[in-house]
Amino acid sequence: MFSDVSVKAPAKVNIGLKVLKKRADGFHNIESIFQTVDLADELKVHRISKAECNITCAQMRLPLENTLTKTYTAFRNITGIDFGIDVELHKVLPAGGGLGGGSSDGASLLKALSDLAGIPLTHSLADSVAEQVGSDVFFFLHSGFFEKGRGCALVSGRGEIVEPIEPRTDLSFLLIFPGIHSSTAEAYSLVDEAYESGKEVSCPEFMELRRFYYGSVDAWEFANSFTPVLIEKYPLIGQAIHDILECGADWADMSGSGATVFGVFESESCAKQAALECQKKWKCVLVH
């Protein structure tokens, strides 16, 4: 067994995100393609004898209860481990950015705990922990990222139904950070209000997502249910989408419940040129 493990926790983008009406249990079903990109947090995890979870993070102040503490507690309760961990989190992904940073951190910590404990991370164990930590955790655990270094999947249910698909490696993604912190709970509330007032975003049927994904990007019909309601509240998001398209993106939208905006390029040279233009006005990063 190891005493120290380092793991990457990648960002994800949502290529289309249809939010369905609220379920009786308070959750929402979704339909989306999730894909990891090569922008990531890093966790250095050290095994200690005392059964506790200590976290240090130089980049931001974390709440006392967070996805890392929840992951450790769930794993300990399920497996009965008697050791604790010191976690040094190097935070790159913005909170409230729609990139799944907290969920990715939780999934990667679970992988580290599995290695430290010498306990295989079975599908059942992964799901039992993800159930207690957050809906997006399922994707990071089952997308193929830990096996292949890149993950992509059709995601449905409340996020727990993950069907891995082969990720496209020919695409470049230009991420723009508008400087807005979008609350997931608030975003879902705004979508619920839109449903109640008869406003609904037109999205492709779930069975069509795979076909669009592997087709020409400039013909994509993906849409994000959160985008119109968030633009109404935060016009900067709409401006960022406009600017990234003006810079030559083949397609652009917001990721998750916001507020990160991203453009997709089939030409890497066009993506590099667009990044040079966008960085004059926005904080942005080019990834694959």
Q: Which domains does the chain have, with CATH numbers?
A: 4-164 (3.30.230.10), 172-287 (3.30.70.890)
Whether residue 18 lies in the annotated active site: no
The answer to whether 104 is a known ligand-binding residue is yes
The answer to whether 99 is a known ligand-binding residue is yes
SS3 175: strand
Whether residue 70 lies in the annotated active site: no
The answer to whether the beta carbons of residues 86 and 22 sit under 8 Å apart is no
Q: Can you read off the two tokens belonging to residue 105?
A: 């951190």
SS3 19: strand
* pLDDT value of residue 182: 86
- pTM: predicted TM-score of the whole model, two decimal places: 0.96
Pick the catalytic residue from 18, 41, 105, 136.
Answer: 136
Rounded average pLDDT per 10-residue block, the chain, 288 residues: 92 98 92 98 98 97 96 99 98 94 98 98 98 98 96 98 98 97 92 90 94 98 97 97 98 97 98 98 98
The answer to whether 151 is a known ligand-binding residue is no
Cis peptide before 259 (omega within 30 of 0): yes
The answer to whether 94 is a known ligand-binding residue is yes
* pLDDT value of residue 201: 85
The answer to whether 101 is a known ligand-binding residue is yes
* pLDDT value of residue 1: 67
* pLDDT value of residue 95: 86
